[in-house]
Structure 1
Amino acid sequence: MRFATWEHQGEVSAGVVSDAGVHGIPGTTVLELVRSGLATAIAAGEQALEAPAVPLAEVRLLPPLHPPTVRDFVAFEEHVEGVVKGVTGGTGGVVDEWYQAPTFYFTNPYAMVGAHDDVAVPPGCSVLDFELEVAAVIGRDGASVAPERAGEHVFGYTVFNDWSARDLQAREMKVSLGPAKGKDFATTLGPWLVTADELEPYRDADGFLALQMQVRVNGELVGEDLLSNMGWPFEELVAYASRGTVVRSGDVLGSGTCGNGGCLGELWGRNGSSPDSRTPPPLQPGDVVEMTVEGIGTIRNQVVAGVDLPPVAPARTRTRARTR
């Protein structure tokens, strides 16, 4: 079942998606449906399907839900290889620590963007990039969840674009902290939230979801990969996120960027960024980024100019005064 949040004639609704369009479930949100449990949510969805639909062409799709937290992992080795080459100038490889455990950062839950909304270039950014990912949505609270039980805590999946200001990110991470402003301006979720049972037919013999992933810029295919190329399945990511702490219903866990062109940063690292490298340049206003994940759907965002803000003030001259 596909759960969505949309705007139609000034009213925001939650409900389910069918071939006919969107069917509302009055008096609730998708986050509340997730927290009610998968069985209850599906029952509500089945009842909603009996009501008339609003055609998709007449609505604005919003992020499927407003997550309380968003953790984004870096679970694709090929992506890490390419990005490291770009950062180090072609030397070095994936650090040993990457293989030892999944790694994630917390990003901004207030910066969620709808499937077809415009994305503004963040202030001070001149190297804008996309990141093709899939996200799992937690459907059941848990603490230190065992990997073999973690699947019970996944409500469903959605497409996830972790927009990245590479120049801002590079500065921040030289301080051995971050990313922060390099990431927190926009994250696309959508087009809807597909329940986990719908994707079980794609699970391979190793327990991974073998979904085809593609990203296009201005209609040109830039990258494609299989979700099953993750270093860990989502169940391991759920277990790690909850290790020694808790995950709550509605929390979002991103897979991290896929390989083979899942972002421009990887391609710049592998092929260079000069015009003769045939690698696409940083995104500019007017560019359209379209991502499709098999079994889930397509998101399509246009880049637009952002606000022009004054430069950030540098730190003051250092002082070592110990007394007033």
Structure 2
Amino acid sequence: MRWATYRSPRDGRDRVGLLHEGSVHGLAEPASLVELLGGGVGAMRRAATTALTEPAEVITTDQVVLRAPVPSPPSIRDFMAFEEHVVTSMQAVGRTVDPGWYEIPVFYFSNPAAVFGPGDPVRIAPGSAAFDYELEVAVVVGGHGANIPVDRAGEYIAGYTILSDWSARDLQEHEMRQGLGPAKGKDTATTIGPYLVTPDELESARGPSGGLELAMTASVNGRRYSRGSLATIHWSFEQLISYASRGTRLVPGDVIGSGTVGTGCILELSRVHGADSYPWLAPGDRVRLEVERLGHLDCVIEPAEVVHPLS
């Protein structure tokens, strides 16, 4: 199943829909995908049947306005789970990976109020001259759980989607010198979408190692920047969910991001190949992030808002 949240042309409200044969079949109820996820797999299957047999409306994909599948998630944990990205980024500045990275999957909390849909424009963070995309995959949690063991964590994956963690690298570097963060460096926008793809849709892509062999690419203004595979992830989503739930509680709609795939951001590329070859994003740039079987994000970069002085 491929679930969407879209803006209804009838009343402008967000609705939940099921993608089927080139059209989104909308539901009258529930009002949000989080509500649907809270009902479990059975509720999702019943809703899919209703969407196909008694849709509230049917909109073709070339006309539908998609929102993020979960426009206001309860939480967003964004991890750093790809070894290639970590190693390459560290080597480019003459450093080695801290051994602790291989002991726990580290993450930060992002801003649920700054989630954007797959075609929405993205503003540069105020005051930033080093704005960047990050090519990631995320899973959305489909149940309530705490202290979840790894061998049961897959039961909590409601679906997969694409995530771009837009990053103001100069703000991030400045604030993290203070021993906290990232905060404002990551606070402006996170793009998620286009659909929530249920695990059964992707099982045929699972490789010998158990990972999903899905190609991940990014381009800026039509020029290929990034290429990687989800199968190269070091920490599995099951491990990420288990760790995220340690000592706390996950709820339906929580977003778990993979972090950047190898070559999947300008920070990494510019450190290796030079800033002239891979400049930071500027107003008017068009960024396309694509993951095999999951779809694509297509975002235009807009100028930053004014910076109001603090003193």
Q: TM-score range by the shorter chain?
A: over 0.9
| Aligned AA (2:284) | G
- Partner of residue 80, structure 2: 74
Residue 82 of structure 1 and its aligned partner are, at CA, apart by 2.8
CA distance in 1, matches of 2:20, 2:289: 20
Q: Is the contact made by 1:82 and 1:265 (CA closer than 8 Å) also made in structure 2? A: no
Residue 92 of structure 1 and its aligned partner are, at CA, apart by 1.3
Q: Is the contact made by 1:132 and 1:291 (CA closer than 8 Å) also made in structure 2? A: yes
3-state SS in 1 of match to 2:36 = helix
| Aligned AA (1:19) | E
| Aligned AA (1:245) | T
Aligned length in residues: 305
Residue 309 of structure 1 and its aligned partner are, at CA, apart by 2.2
Residue 195 of structure 1 and its aligned partner are, at CA, apart by 0.8
Q: Is the contact made by 2:5 and 2:33 (CA closer than 8 Å) also made in structure 1? A: yes
Which stretch of structure 1 is more off in the superposition, 132-141 or 20-29?
Answer: 20-29
281, 287, 290: which one aligns with 1:292: 290
Which stretch of structure 1 is more off in the superposition, 2-11 or 108-117?
Answer: 2-11
CA distance in 1, matches of 2:18, 2:80: 30
- Partner of residue 161, structure 2: 158
CA distance in 2, matches of 1:312, 1:124: 13
CA distance in 2, matches of 1:34, 1:111: 21
CA distance in 2, matches of 1:239, 1:218: 38
12, 15, 25: which one aligns with 1:23: 25
- Partner of residue 214, structure 1: 217
Answering whether residue 69 of structure 2 is matched by residue 64 of structure 1, we say: yes
- Partner of residue 321, structure 1: none
Residue 42 of structure 1 and its aligned partner are, at CA, apart by 2.2
- Partner of residue 45, structure 2: 42
CA distance in 2, matches of 1:291, 1:270: 21
Residue 305 of structure 1 and its aligned partner are, at CA, apart by 1.0
Q: Is the contact made by 1:127 and 1:283 (CA closer than 8 Å) also made in structure 2? A: yes
Residue 8 of structure 1 and its aligned partner are, at CA, apart by 3.2
CA RMSD of aligned residues (A): 1.3
| Aligned AA (1:198) | E
CA distance in 1, matches of 2:225, 2:267: 12
Q: Is the contact made by 1:8 and 1:58 (CA closer than 8 Å) also made in structure 2? A: no
- Partner of residue 89, structure 2: 83
Question: Structure 1-normalised TM-score?
Answer: 0.91
1:111-126 residue pairs with structure 2 within 5 A?
Answer: 111-126=114-129
1:111-150 residue pairs with structure 2 within 5 A?
Answer: 111-150=114-153
- Partner of residue 98, structure 2: 95
Question: Structure 2-normalised TM-score?
Answer: 0.95
Answering whether residue 60 of structure 2 is matched by residue 55 of structure 1, we say: yes
